Structures are given as C-alpha cells and as structure tokens.
Amino acid sequence: MAATVDDLLRLEMPAGEKRIIAEYIWVGGSGLDLRSKPRTLTGPVKSVSELPKWNYDGSSTGQAPGEDSEVILYPQAIFRDPFRGGDNILVMCDCYTPQGEPIPTNTRYAANKLFQQALETEPWFGLEQEYTLLEKEHKWPLGWPVNGYPGAQGPYYCGVGADKAWGRRIVDAHYKACVYAGITISGTNGEVMPGQWEFQVGPAVGIAAGDELWVARYLLERITELEGVILSLDPKPVEGDWNGAGCHCNFSTKAMREDGGWEVIMEGVKNLELRHKEHIKAYGEGNERRLTGRHETASMDRFSWAVASRGTSVRIGRDTEAKKKGYMEDRRPASNMDPYVVTSLVFDTTTLWKPL
C-alpha cells in the first residue's frame, strides 16, 4: 500500500541519522503574529549556544523595508518539538538588524535588560492565558449556534459535557504538547464564556516567562491549524453580556515570598497604582472593551486592589493575606498582551522603580 501523508509525518528517523529539524520561531511585525520556519542541523542540540543565527525577509513581515529586508534571528530558548518528536527542537528567537541592533518590534531585548539588573530578586511569574476558539467559516465561537447565542453564562466555567465544553480535544492536545516541549504549564480550565479556555504558564523566572508563553501560544496556533479552528486572543470577542479574555499576571519576588513579604507586596501595589495609566497603555490593544468594571474586571479608569476580589485591578489571595507573604495578581492585562512587555513592566514598577 502506498504511503499516505500521515504515514510520512509519523516517520521515525533511520538509526544513526544525525540530522535534526530545528523550527525557528519569532514574533512578527504586528507584535502578536507568530512566524516560523524550519532548518536542518546536526544534532542533538543541547544548548542554545550551539545554534547558528539565521535570517528572514523582514519586508514580508512588516519589520524591514524592501531595499534592506534582511532581519537576523538570534536563538534564545530551546524546547522539544512535540510535532516531530525525537531530537527535533523548537527555537524561540528574537530579531536584530545585520548590524546587531534589536529591531523596533523586539520587545524581548529591553525586557531582558531589565531582568538582568536584579537577578538576585528571583522574579517569578504565573501567566493565565485566556483564549477563544472560533469556528473557521463564520469566525464565531466554537459550539455556538450560527448567528446565534448559547444559554447564558453559568454552567460553562470548568464545565463537563457536550452541552458545556466545546473544544476540549484541542485543549488536551495543547496541554500534553506543552508538557512534552518542556514548558512549565501548570494547568488549564474551561472559562466562563462557552468556547473560551485558559491555560497557565509558571512559575517561570524572569525572561523565561515570556519565552514560554510565546512558545505555548505557538503550539496552540499549530494545533488549532491542524483542527481547522481559529485561535482568537481578542480581549472581547463577543460584545454584550459575555466575559472577555485576559492574561492575568501573577508575580512575586524572593522578598515577597519570605517572612516580611506582606510589606513588600503592599509597596509594589502602591507603585502599580502610581503608574496605572502607563500600565494600561501597555496591557493590550482593545482592552478598553474588556476593562469595564463588569464581568470580573475593574474599570480601566481607576486603580483598585483587594483581597480575593475578582473585580479589582490587583487581587491578593486569601493564602497570601493569611501567611503575610506570597504573591499578587495583576488582572488588567488583556489576552493579546505581549508577555515580554507586561512581565518586565510589572517587575520594573514593583521592584526597580522608586517614586520620587
């Protein structure tokens, strides 16, 4: 019987084959679109330092002019490839000019410079990525009646059953792919709006949080591509009495996690209030449609914090209050936020920045 495409995709490499496939991944010109292309290398590759730089046509991604279009990819983090298996790898990269300068859309560079200033503070992040699965033809949430609406919110959050959970096959495949890749995915759940889900990455330290979330998004894009489903990171995919989609940023430093941490957390919250407008501007496009003060959000016009409340800008957990140490949750970032921008800004404001 002739081999099928599926047979070829499942091929194991012959014994003794030293070549591997490395999929280079980067963020495109919109700041949200992911791009990738594979190359053949000699393996196995154990360290990012073993990987060569590469290049691509930046004029086709909105990142360089046509007359000087070469953009250089610098490998920054390696992950196992769940699609190809074996010694094949995924490589998260950032982007530079041929002269070695970070291009304007390279937000990783500035973020890493901030983290490098105070590595001893051990900044931990837990990022809660909400997303919506859309039916391809009509671009309407998966499982919803075409041009119609399902029953009101209530039974869908962490729901079980064919009338409550739509897209679990994709969610479970993504979960396993993240574990295989080496991403510190810590969980997943169905969200309040049907067809909407969430996965959590972390705790991850410093710049690794951004690398891991971008690669987790890449895996989800690839899996939805295979299933013929559209992945949406729109912060308010359906107008009306439906929850939006965020990417809450849980954060702590070593000082916050140790005895006396409550005072450090409170100082960080105070700084977040002082820079509220700056943070809102950096927390994702279209976030004003989500941060209305309804549907488990705070109004974007006013900073607030409280213990246990999901209607505030920043939430402090009951456990943190009881132990007087732990972490804080910034609930303002939108689902389409740039994790390099958000994690570094939260770190800067709460840890490095000193108000006059």
Residues whose CB is less than 8 angstroms from the CB of residue 2 and which lie 6 or more positions away in sequence, other chains included: none
Does residue 259 carry a pLDDT above 90? yes
- pLDDT tens readout for residues 41-85: 999 999 999 999 999 999 999 999 999 999 999 999 999 999 999
Q: What is the mean pLDDT of the chain?
A: 96
Query: Using 50, 70 and 90 to split pLDDT, how confident is the model at 241?
Result: very high
Spell out the domains of the chain, with CATH numbers in brackets.
Answer: 19-105 (3.10.20.70), 116-146+166-352 (3.30.590.10)
d(C-alpha 326, C-alpha 255), whole Å: 9
- pLDDT tens readout for residues 101-159: 999 999 999 999 999 999 999 999 999 999 999 999 999 999 999 989 999 999 999 99
CA distances from residue 3 to 6, 148, 334 in whole angstroms, order as listed: 8, 43, 45
d(C-alpha 203, C-alpha 308), whole Å: 20
Q: Where are the alpha helices (DSSP H) in the chain?
A: 5-9, 107-116, 168-181, 207-227, 254-257, 261-274, 276-282, 318-323, 339-347
Backbone torsion region of residue 105, taken as left when φ is above 0, otherwise alpha when ψ lies between -120 and 50, otherwise beta: alpha
Q: Is the C-alpha dihedral spanning 218, 224, 225, 227 positive or negative? A: positive
Query: Using 50, 70 and 90 to split pLDDT, how confident is the model at 12?
Result: confident
Backbone torsion region of residue 158, taken as left when φ is above 0, otherwise alpha when ψ lies between -120 and 50, otherwise beta: left
Query: Using 50, 70 and 90 to split pLDDT, how confident is the model at 316?
Result: very high
What pLDDT is attached to residue 141?
A: 97
Q: Which tokens hold the place of 320?
A: 């943190």
Percent with pLDDT over 90 in the chain: 94
What pLDDT is attached to residue 242?
A: 96
Helix axes 339-347, 107-116, angle to 10 degrees: 30
Calculate the CA dihedral of residues 38, 40, 44, 48 and round it to 10 degrees. -50
Mean pLDDT for the stretch of residues 178-182: 98
What pLDDT is attached to residue 13?
A: 86
Does residue 1 carry a pLDDT above 80? no
With beta carbons less than 8 A apart as the criterion, state whether 331 and 321 touch.
Answer: no
Displacement of CA 12 from its chain's centroid (Å): 31
- pLDDT tens readout for residues 19-37: 999 999 999 999 999 999 9
What pLDDT is attached to residue 286?
A: 96
What pLDDT is attached to residue 3?
A: 83
Displacement of CA 273 from its chain's centroid (Å): 24
d(C-alpha 343, C-alpha 125), whole Å: 7
What pLDDT is attached to residue 147?
A: 86
Q: What is the pTM of this model?
A: 0.97
